[in-house]
Amino acid sequence: MAEGIKDKVAIIGMGCTRFGERWDAGSEDLMVEAFKETIEDAGIDRKEIQAAWFGSCFDSVNVGLSAAPLSLALKLPFLPVTRVENFCATGSEALRGAAYAVASGAYDICLALGCEKLKDTGYGGLPDMATMMGVKNRLIMPGLTAPGGFAMMATRYFAKYGIDPQEGKKILAKISIKSHKNGAKNPKAHLRREVTEEQVLKAPMIAWPLGLFDCCGVSDGAAAAIVCRADLAKNFRPDPVYIKALQIAISSGEELMYTDWDGTYVKTAVHAAARAYKEAGINNPREEISMMEVHDCFSITELVTYEDLQISPRGKAGNDVRDGFYDLDGKIPCQPDGGLKCFGHPIGASGLRMMYEMYKQLQGKAGERQIKYPRIGLTHNMGGFPAMNLISVCIAGLK
């Protein structure tokens, strides 16, 4: 393996808007809100930024194509800006671009910013999947929605491990209850109310067996990070956060068209995590990871992600859920900020929003949600469907 980017790049400033139904704000407002917090946090003059990566997914309801919307909104003239889109990992992809550019030595200081305004679509959930997958898929793809795509993994997971669907729903409910509990402590979260098991189990069905509270919301938001050469980081702040690994893995179609995948996990996540652990030098994730923000678009996604990240043994994540292993006061708190469950999922922003929480936690600035002795934080994004997807795994920590 190439030597990777471990500890070559540091995050010296981050910002994140309040997520939610931001009827008051357009994309420009959101970008500026996140950017303002970021440069204030970094304590840098905006003129020091040498290049930027802009993440945005649904251009039609958002900002339009190209990287120009970032330069226009933030008034960063004549900088090289790259627009990236990688479904739900778009925000992480923007961070990866900025971090790799710094690691390469091309720049000293770069900006990564992700933004999405989903509430301007006019309906709940994400836009029609088939139209996003190219002209041929439009003609042959089933009428899939995001919850349906993941519900199929729950169906198979329950079938494989002999879990009665009602019992399975109870395990999944615990995941949502935990995230809501954390989100209630977070002023930037969209949904800030705790939920009971009864509420989760009795909620309207969205895509069997997933009900309303098994699904994350649709919201607007933006988040940003400023990264710099690790050796310069302490010039900006005493507590920079170092990037240990940034990995992306993408399906080749074998899950969907070949029959050796058993449908109960996400193949790409296994590969992305293994590469990230290797890059970061992590041998035993269950012992070494302090906390995680994973892509909990649906409760079942979070459950299998525990297993894909090699934290819980295969088929046994439910036991860790029951034992409170992933609770805020557990061994590895997962979604300390409330996750997508409470933040909603403005696609371009989510990856950076996750890193924002890890960054604040590592600096001991997470307020009511602060966990004890954090050393290593992991973020995980997933775009597409369990059978055809892309995964990002980022690891950050203190030096």
Partner 1 sequence: MVGITSYGAYIPRYRIDRGIVYKAMGWLNPGTFMPGEKAVANFDEDSITMAVAAGINCLQGMDRGKIDALYFATTTSPYKERQSAEIIATAFNLRADIRTADFTGSIKSGTTSLLSALDALKAGSAKNAMVCTADCRIGKPGSAQEEIFGDGAAALTVGEGNVIASFVDSCSVSYDFVDHWRADGQTFDRQWEDRFIRDVGYAKFIMEAISGLAKKCKLDVKDIAKVAYPCLYEGDHKSIGKKLGLNPEQIQDHMVSNVGYTGTASPLMMLVAALEDAKPGDNIVVASFGNGSDALLFKVTDEIEKVKGKRRGIKKHLAMRRELKNYEKFISFRNVLPVDKGIRGEIMGATAISELWRSRRQILALCGSRCKACGTPQFPSQKICVNPDCKTMDQMEDYPFSDKRGTLFTYTADLLAFSLNPPAIYGFVDFKGGGRYWFDITDADQEAVKVDMPVEMSFRKKYVDEEKGVHGYFWKAIPVLE
Active site residues: 88, 345
Q: How far is CA 89 from CA 201, 213, 354, in A?
A: 29, 22, 11
Taking contact as CB under 8 A, which single stretch among the options 80-88, 187-195, 259-267, 291-299 is the one that binds partner 1?
A: 259-267
Number of neighbouring beta carbons within 10 Å of residue 233:
20
Contact assessment for residue 144 and residue 129, using Cβ atoms and an 8 Å cutoff:
yes
**How many other C-beta atoms are found inside a 10 Å radius of the C-beta of residue 370?**
15
Does 253 engage in binding with partner 1 (CB under 8 A)?
yes
Contact 323, 338 (CB under 8 A): no
Q: Which is nearer to partner 1, 71 or 121 (CB)?
A: 121
Which one among 1, 105, 139, 164 touches partner 1, defined by CB under 8 A? 139
Q: Could you tell me which stretch among 223-231, 232-240, 251-259, 350-358 binds partner 1 (CB under 8 A)? A: 251-259
Site membership for partner 1, residue 384 (CB under 8 A): no
Contacts (CB under 8 A) with partner 1, residues 158-177: 159
334: left (phi over 0), alpha (psi -120 to 50) or beta: beta
* Nearer residue to partner 1 within complex by CB, 88 or 152: 152
Q: Work out the angle at residue 82's Cα, subtended by the Cα atoms of residues 62 and 100, and round it to the nearest 5 degrees.
A: 125
- Residue 57 makes contact with partner 1 by CB under 8 A: no
Which one of 40, 167, 208, 281 is in contact with partner 1 (CB under 8 A)?
208
Instruction: Tell me how far, at minimum, the Cβ of 19 lies from partner 1, in Å.
Output: 21
Span interacting with partner 1, options 50-58, 111-119, 130-138, 328-336, rule CB under 8 A: 130-138
Query: What's the min distance (Å) between Cβ of 187 and partner 1?
Result: 30
Q: Please state the closest distance from residue 58 (CB atom) to partner 1, in A.
A: 12
Select 75 or 136, whichever has its Cβ closest to partner 1: 136
Question: Residue 142: is the preceding peptide bond cis (ω within 30°)?
Answer: no
CA distance 85 to 92: 10
CA end-to-end span of the chain, whole Å? 22
Helix (H), strand (E) at residue 347: helix 347-362
Binding segment for partner 1 (CB under 8 A), chosen from 6-14, 167-175, 205-213, 275-283, is 205-213
> Is 65 a binder of partner 1 (CB under 8 A)?
no
| Beta strand spans in the chain (E) | 9-16, 51-55, 81-84, 109-117, 205-207, 210-211, 220-229, 241-250, 291-293, 376-385, 388-397
Say whether residue 122 binds partner 1 (CB under 8 A). Answer: yes
Q: Which residues contact partner 1 by CB under 8 A?
A: 121-125, 127-128, 131, 135-136, 138-145, 147-148, 151-156, 159, 204-210, 252-254, 256-260, 263, 387
